[in-house]
Amino acid sequence: MPRTIAIALLFTLLLVPSAWFAWQNRHMPQFGQAHDDAIYYIASKSLADGQGYRISSLPQTPYETKYPPLLPWLMTIPWLIQPRFPENLTIATAIQWAMIPPFLWLCFAWFRRAGLSEPYRWLAVAVLAIQPYTVMFAGTLATETLYGSFLLASLIALDKARQQVDGSRWAALAGLLAGIGYLGRSAGVVAIISGPMAFLFWRKRREALAFLLAMVPMVAGWMVWARLHQSRSTDFVSLYNTNYLGFQLANVHWNDLGAVVWTNFAHMLFEMGALLFPLEDASFFMQLVRDTVAVAILWRLFCRRRDPVLQPYLWFAALSMVELLVWHFPPNLRLMYPLIPLFAAGLIWEGQNLAQMIRRSLSHADRSQRVAAWLIGGVAAGAALFGLWTQVYMTFRVLPELARTNESYREERAQAYRWIGQHVDANLNVMALNPAIYLYTGRHTASTGIMPIDWYRHDQARMLAPFRGISAFASENHLDYIYMHESDYGVLIPDAPEDARGIVESHAGLRRVFQSGRSSIFQVDPAVSSAAR
């Protein structure tokens, strides 16, 4: 069989898990549960309708100044082809899955530049291809694979610039690609520092300037536009939906920074280990195993810090991790997803280093050294097999079960949406955690929520306070009805969902007007809400 055909077949085989998941979930039964996926699609509808880049689901329909517009621009295609919702979600799923092949191919290309041999390149790509997050992104509106592709393309162009006497053109292309990627994911702004840093370290000032000048227009353009169109309101709904920095400053103060950084660091290590062991298990054993993997990856990458191919990615990763450490949300593997090609390479290199140590010890004259090598080799082989099992189990067992659960939730929500469409006046607003209610019913919606800093402080009383004042919040924000699904409580306050549910369902300012399964709709009593303020 010709080599090209063999490579194409192998690469196609690696795409099967994500393609299968995308097909099985082409109607996106989980749509809106993550919040930002619905916001992306709502903003894309606004663009397709000629209304500008707005969050048209919110009562005030403010401009979307939180999420950069690359993905919403791309998602105008389903609205232009098929204006009917939710029928057009199948087109959105196809576009979302189409981002995975170029991402994986660019991973392969970067692994080759980083020096991985061909078998190890395929092994690293295989790890990424069956990773549950990669598979999940095939059927979820998200920016991770889109941004990851631009980041890797930028890093490859940057390395080409390093290898040339005058690499200004490649450097400009690298900056342009990084800038376009930033329009898909605002956290990518750190490339405007890491890219020029790499060139300056290599004493390539012209290339550093070319990269900077190519990236600045996208970064400055979006920042200026967002600043000019940003809502001036400082209430919870406005800050959370339209102002990344404002919501960060409202949560993380200097006296909280230590707790936030320490908590985020622990989560970062635990989630890095999910690259090899994605099984969701909070036991001490899994904590130990995942943290060990994370430390091994970081150590191996540190040992290779002088490799010029790696340096731009390492600086980008370092700045990104600092960004995540101070952020008001514990970093999971999704937030670190653009870094996982680097983590995968570190994992492979650490595995190679361990294998070399074992081989040397197996031929050692000292019998105890040989015994130790057999023991360590057995543990390493067991860990690798366990990692493979967790990958397969999560991808082919847990994700399908999650999809079935989401499908049942969608049916329950559909009944509530039909009731809203029939009984709630078109001029009234509904409070709901899932913004997609706007696309299903045409009713404007907004949501309450806890301040993340209260979770870092373990202050359960403050976390429950928004539920105690839910009717007053609804009245202040002109929300006439409240829709809650039982799963929403776990999303808002995972530490005490039943307490939150009990508070809402017994609230004097609310009257339940609809219930079906785990879905409930409450009407807000303005008189009681006003008295509670």
Q: Each residue of 434-484: pLDDT tens digit? A: 999 999 999 999 998 889 999 999 999 999 999 999 999 999 999 999 999
Q: Each residue of 261-320: pLDDT tens digit? A: 999 999 999 999 999 899 888 888 899 999 999 999 999 999 999 999 999 999 999 999
CATH number of 402-532: 3.40.50
Coil/strand/helix, residue 448: coil
Say how far apart CA 319 and CA 441 lie, in whole Å.
42
Write down the pTM of the prediction: 0.94
Report percent pLDDT > 70 for the chain: 98
Side chain identity at residue 244, one-letter code: Y
Compute the average pLDDT of residues 354-363: 84
Question: What confidence score (pLDDT) does residue 348 get?
Answer: 94
Task: Report the chain's mean pLDDT, rounded to a whole number.
Answer: 92
Residues of the chain with CATH 3.40.50: 402-532
Question: What confidence score (pLDDT) does residue 101 get?
Answer: 97
Q: Each residue of 198-237: pLDDT tens digit? A: 999 999 999 999 999 999 999 999 999 999 999 988 889 9
Q: Each residue of 151-202: pLDDT tens digit? A: 999 999 999 999 998 899 999 999 999 999 999 999 999 999 999 999 999 9
Termini Cα distance of the chain: 75
Say how far apart CA 153 and CA 387 lie, in whole Å.
29
Instruction: Tell me how far the alpha carbon of residue 484 is from its chain's centroid.
Output: 24
Q: For the purposes of burial, counting CB atoms within 10 Å of the CB of 228, is it exposed (0-12), middle (13-18) or buried (19 or more)?
A: exposed
Say how far apart CA 458 and CA 452 lie, in whole Å.
10
At residue 529, does pLDDT exceed 70? no
